[in-house]
Structure 1
Amino acid sequence: MTTATHPLRTADIVDETAQLLLDHYVFPEAATQLGALLRRRLADGAYDVQEPAELARLVTTDLQSLNGDPHLRLKHHDGPVPADKGAATLTMMRAKMDASLGGAPRTELLDGNVALLELSPALFPLDWCAETLTAALTLVAPAEALIVDLRANSGGDPDTVAFVCGHLLDERTHLNTMYWRDGDRLEQSWSPAHVPGRRFGGSKPLYVLTSASTFSAAEELSYDLQQLGRAVIVGETTRGGAHPCDGWTVHPHLEATIPMGKAVNPVSGTNWEGTGVRPDVPCDAADALDRAHALARARITPSHEPPAL
């Protein structure tokens, strides 16, 4: 419930969110249109509500009404939001990491010498999770085929995407280019030339599982590997968010998340924004593991099959 401690000063929240759009949104023309829309809706009384969660829902609907950008949100938090820019997201991510073995909660050797590596619920900042990911990726490296499960992954750090790709490729490779509105600049992302631990490498069969919930940096990992011809994507079309964002606290329980850049893949010349990553082998997410396992076993040479009993 809203309390006197944290009154809902709706006009101030909407005005600040509109100004953040003008200052930071990667598409300035859209920012101008959306800022005007928010202020018009405020004047019309559309945001005359009492609860932060309801205001967040209404404003987010309007923010996403122009171009459907799923990273563009007024996000409600049950607990108080830290005042520092981006701190709310990092606080939540840290709690998730501590509860998920560093973002690699499942490694398993399936029948036929096919390894399964689940990366969820996020691709955490690399300085948090490099040790865990190195251990998990080294553990699965000897397998004849690998399935990377991103069905429950909601995104994270592009540097972690590059780190994981480094274990799944044989050499340093251009993965993605980011356009940033700040400074009107381009920033390339490459897989590392050297990785700690053992590489799975760039030649053995690789499958990536996706769902309609796979989002953001997890989509980048899927898309980068797909565009390079390195992995077969199995499952559902992903959510379609290719614009990296940051967050600003506009109320003790509300965070405005504003995309400041956009991804440009060096192979396709575009990205997965709005379309999602389309699987090479479409199927229900619940069936994706069985489907990928069958495909992997079919590609492994018979000499590696266990002898019949």
Structure 2
Amino acid sequence: MTTSTKLLPAPVIDKTARLVTEQYVFPEIAEQVAGLLQQRLAEGAYDVDGAEELARLVTADLQSVNGDRHLRLKHHADPVSPKQGAASLDAMRRDFDTSLGGAPRLQLLDGGIAVVELAPMLFPLEWAAEPLSAALTLASRAQALIVDLRANRGGDPDTVAFVCSYLLDQRTHLNTMHWRNGERSEQSWSLPHVPGARFGGSKPLYVLTSDSTFSAAEELAYNLQQLGRATVVGERTRGGAHPCKGWTVHPHLEATIPMGRAINPVSHTNWEGTGVQPDIPCATTDALDHAHALALTRLAD
């Protein structure tokens, strides 16, 4: 269903502007964004009939200052809990239950080459560790591996590190999160031990991407690419490197606000705005065939 009931935009804008000011990773940008929202409210730009249309207009304005794709006002057709993050959590759980825990496809191609699709997202590790471990352990016996992230829209950085741990031989520094105002930073490393068997760090590895691949899925591709561990095949990804949290500002609206920024230890930057650039660019529909052919050639050599 959709929401078409008349709503008062002022409380939504006031809450969203306050959250941006208090939480956004770049305080100077936060002031500009909050000011823009209040200006547009005063101009009557948000005088619309429904929450879905308001979400579209506000998201365009939120992203207009610096293009941060994680800075959004998300519409939810069903009413959501007022608790922080509850809207995203409810939607995640439904997706988790209908996607085999985020690993909906495990396939063996000709030549002993395995495909593991991780979609629609990298779910919280406390949910996803068991199904991901099962899929990656089965794939560990393959001669080469293709990780398909074309339909993955992001998720949990801890789950990124968990997956990377199956694809490397030793504990490796993957990423560092720097939080608002430089108050603290947090390093992400692959795990010294994993449940099940590793695919390891020496056999051929390919990662498939599309222009829908986003956020934590981009980090997974970027980490492995920067380490020289994987060849990325497909399309440039969407370009969202800022981890965010969500706040319910209306029964059908959730403000998602980035609170940190990722810095890769190899490149000393991230994929924000630029996306992950594939090593082998091609249409997303052709990416699996390209990666399969590359793997067969590599194994033959």
TM-score tier, shorter chain, comes to over 0.9
Task: Write the distance in 2 (CA, Å) between the matches of 1:147 and 1:223.
Answer: 15
For the pair 1:87 / 2:86, whether they are aligned, the reply is yes
Whole-angstrom CA distance in 2 between matches of 1:234 and 1:40 = 43
Give the TM-score, by structure 1 length. 0.95
CA deviation vs aligned residue, 1:214-270 (integer Å, no higher than 9, x gap)? 000000000000000000000000000000100111100000100000100000000
**Correspondence for 2:24:** 25
Deviation for aligned residue 1:8: 1.6
2:211 equivalent to 1:218:
no
Report if aligned partners of 2:231, 2:280 keep a CA contact under 8 Å in 1: yes
Distance 1:209 1:2 in 2: 39
- Could you tell me which residue of structure 2 aligns to residue 306 of structure 1? none
> Which 4+ residue blocks in structure 1 deviate beyond 2 angstroms?
none
Worse overlay, 163-172 or 180-189: 180-189
Matched, 1:98 2:97: yes
Counting only pairs closer than 5 Å after superposition, residues 278-297 of structure 1 correspond to structure 2 as 278-297=277-296
The residue number in structure 2 matching 1:14 is 13
Structure 2 residue 227 is matched with structure 1 residue 233: no
8 Å CA contact 1:24, 1:181 repeated in 2:
yes
Q: CA deviation at 1:182?
A: 6.9
Letter of the structure 1 residue corresponding to residue 238 of structure 2: R
1:187 maps to 2:186? yes
- For 2:95, the aligned partner's letter is K
Identity of aligned residues (%): 70
Structure 2: 5+ residue runs without aligned partners? none
Query: 2:51 and 2:130 mapped to 1: Cα distance?
Result: 39
Instruction: Please tell me the residue identity of whatever aligns with 2:148.
Output: D
Following TM superposition, by how much is the alpha carbon of 1:2 offset from its aligned partner in structure 2, in angstroms?
Answer: 4.1
CA contact (8 A) 2:27 2:181 kept: no
Look up the equivalent residue of 2:268 and give its one-letter code.
Answer: G
Partners in 1 of 2:9 and 2:104 — Cα distance?
A: 41
- Give the superposition deviation at 1:183: 6.8
Q: Provide the rounded CA distance (Å) in 1 between the counterparts of 2:44 and 2:211.
A: 34
2:247 counterpart residue number:
248
Contact 1:116 1:146 in 2 (8 A): yes
Counterpart of 2:271 in structure 1 is 272
Match of 1:126 in 2: 125
Shift of 1:207: 0.1
1:129 deviates by 1.1
The letter for the 1-side match of 2:111 is G
Compare CA radii of gyration and give the structure with the larger one: 1
- The one-letter code matched in structure 2 to 1:164 is V
- Read off the aligned partner of 1:285 and give its amino acid letter: T
Q: Which runs of structure 2 are paired with 1:57-72 in the superposition (5 Å)?
A: 57-72=56-71
| Contact 2:26–2:181, Cα closer than 8 Å, also in 1 | no
CA distance in 2, matches of 1:142, 1:86: 38
How many correspondences in the alignment? 299
2:114–2:139 CA contact under 8 A, matched in 1 = yes
Output the amino acid matched with 1:278: Q
d(CA) in 2 for partners of 1:83 and 1:297? 52
Deviations 1:256-304 (A, max 9, x none): 10000010000000000000000000000000000000000001147xx
Q: Is the 8 A contact 1:182 1:260 kept in 2?
A: no
Q: Which runs of 5+ in 1 are unaligned?
A: 303-309
